[in-house]
Structure 1
Amino acid sequence: MRIALFITCFNDTMFPGTGKAVVEVLERLGHQVDFPQEQTCCGQMHFNTGYRPDAVPLVERFARVFGEYDAVITPSASCAGMVRENHPVLAADHGRAELQQQVAELVPRVYEFTEFLTDVLRVTDVGAFFPHRVTYHPTCHSLRGLRLGERPLELLRAVKGIDLVDLPAPDSCCGFGGTFAVKNADTSGAMLADKADGVLSTGAEVLCAADNSCLMHIGGGLSRQGSGVRTMHLAEILAATEGGVR
């Protein structure tokens, strides 16, 4: 199986360690992962802010760069959702027939990291060891968009040494939502405060999720409170061995 990592522009710029963690886990499971150098943004920012025709060249690039792979893995439920749900829309509205066909063929091969592990590779125990108290926040794109359900939790429960605790009101939004946090700062801040209170009530050392964008938002709130709670992408916990054999 030819596997490619779609790191996403957000992770590549701000959280490159997450992409490295994805590769480490997949290599531990015996798979080689390519990183196509020509990859760039999936176009979500353009699509969500009304610049849909400007996103089409990015759809074309995505189809060209990743079209030859059997599986395209991304550690972002948000960007996976953009590709699977909205690339076909953009191709149909603004693209050529050839692009529509390319997108239609590629979309079923694009996976969010946790669903690739559980649904395709059929594994939950990836050999991780992480002896810390952890709580998991299901981001809106992972929960409502991709409907990941229990997949991330199944993977976390299989981690050796972990103390996994439930997050109160897990299905409530953290208030990020991309430009929503900027355009509706007061509302976003109130939502963030509720989410941060929930995290603190668990006594967790680490908050994890399948989207670094939401972790950045919540982590900022927790940091400003001096809480000491760390944020980690789920892939980084799955890559951890805490001194064990890799």
Structure 2
Amino acid sequence: MTTPKPQVGLFVTCLVDFFRPTVGFSAVKLLEDAGCEVSVPAAQTCCGQPAYNSGDRAGARALAEQVIALFETFDHVVVPSGSCAGMIKVHYPDLFSGEPGWRLRAERLAAKTHELTSFLVDVLGVAPLPVSWEGTATYHDSCSGLRELGVKAQPRRLLSAVDGLAIKEMRDPEACCGFGGTFCVKYDEISNAIVDRKTADIKSTGVDLLLSGDLGCLLNMAGKLKREGSRVEVRHVAEVLAGMATGPAIGEKTK
């Protein structure tokens, strides 16, 4: 008797949808190669994190209801972003405190929501993937992925088997990049000072490539590196793991 494939709903995220669709395609490839049946609900929008972080609980709640309704029938929900996965997994239940029905639905969704590399390693037990990339790379641990979801070893385990790729750690890979969603808009001078320190740490490694699992962080660091004249290439970890890192890097113009 054939074992049914895990039914996975991919929550693409706003940033991936608008700025880096290749990350979504890479996530689908990784999940399908791992034996999953992947669906991408067309009606999905935002997870509600910007509204939640700005104090607009009503707006965040409305978006959370939509996400719950769209994704609660899947076996698993996978997100190529630590911050959006953290919003669903950690903060959704809090949005519905005092509402037992919605709270239960939020908790059930939270329990089966995973960041992409964590799902591949911790849930599916996927071995490192047979792909290649010639060069050196360093990895940035995003705040939400690391501190809310415990994503640290999983991407490094998968990257360890990329043929030709050498990982060189930053002095402080866990330090914030200064993005923080709306934080970089509200507190731009502080955000710029934080990313100054981050890019200095990145450049001190002498690597060719910067990787992370959160597109917001990557866009922020790529922009700063470009303004500083750095030639470090910036990509989402899923693009390298899926063997789809062939087009322009993040922050580079599409030809």
Is the TM value for this pair above 0.5?
Answer: yes
Paired amino acid for 2:225: L
Identity of aligned residues (%): 38
CA distance in 2, matches of 1:71, 1:108: 9
Matched, 1:29 2:34: yes
Answer whether contact 1:22 1:239 (CA < 8 A) is retained. yes
Within the candidate set 56, 81, 102, 1:51 is matched to: 56
CA distance in 2, matches of 1:72, 1:194: 34
- Residue matched to 2:252: none
Aligned pairs for 1:1-246 within 5 A: 1-93=6-98, 96-240=99-243
CA distance in 2, matches of 1:213, 1:107: 22
How far is 1:29 from its partner? 2.4
How far is 1:146 from its partner? 1.1
How far is 1:242 from its partner? 7.9
Answer whether contact 1:129 1:241 (CA < 8 A) is retained. no
Answer whether contact 1:211 1:233 (CA < 8 A) is retained. yes
How far is 1:241 from its partner? 6.8
Secondary structure at the counterpart of residue 131 of structure 1: strand
Answer whether contact 2:139 2:212 (CA < 8 A) is retained. yes
How far is 1:138 from its partner? 0.4
CA distance in 1, matches of 2:43, 2:33: 26
Task: Could you tell me which runs of 5 or more consecutive residues in structure 2 were left unpaired when the two chains were aligned.
Answer: 1-5, 247-255
Deviations 1:97-131 (A, max 9, x none): 32122112221110000110111110231222112
Runs of 4+ deviating beyond 3 Å: none
CA distance in 2, matches of 1:219, 1:242: 16
CA distance in 2, matches of 1:124, 1:241: 18
Answer whether contact 2:212 2:237 (CA < 8 A) is retained. yes
Deviations 1:183-238 (A, max 9, x none): 22222111111111111111111100010100100100100112111111111110
CA distance in 2, matches of 1:187, 1:241: 35
Secondary structure at the counterpart of residue 41 of structure 2: coil
Deviations 1:135-191 (A, max 9, x none): 101011112121212111111112121111111211211111112112222221111
Answer whether contact 1:46 1:54 (CA < 8 A) is retained. yes
Give the alignment's Cα RMSD to 1 decimal. 1.5
TM-score by length of 1: 0.93
Secondary structure at the counterpart of residue 210 of structure 2: strand
CA distance in 1, matches of 2:137, 2:127: 17
Secondary structure at the counterpart of residue 133 of structure 1: strand
More displaced stretch, 176-185 vs 233-242? 233-242
Paired amino acid for 1:68: T
CA distance in 1, matches of 2:220, 2:14: 17
Answer whether contact 2:26 2:244 (CA < 8 A) is retained. no
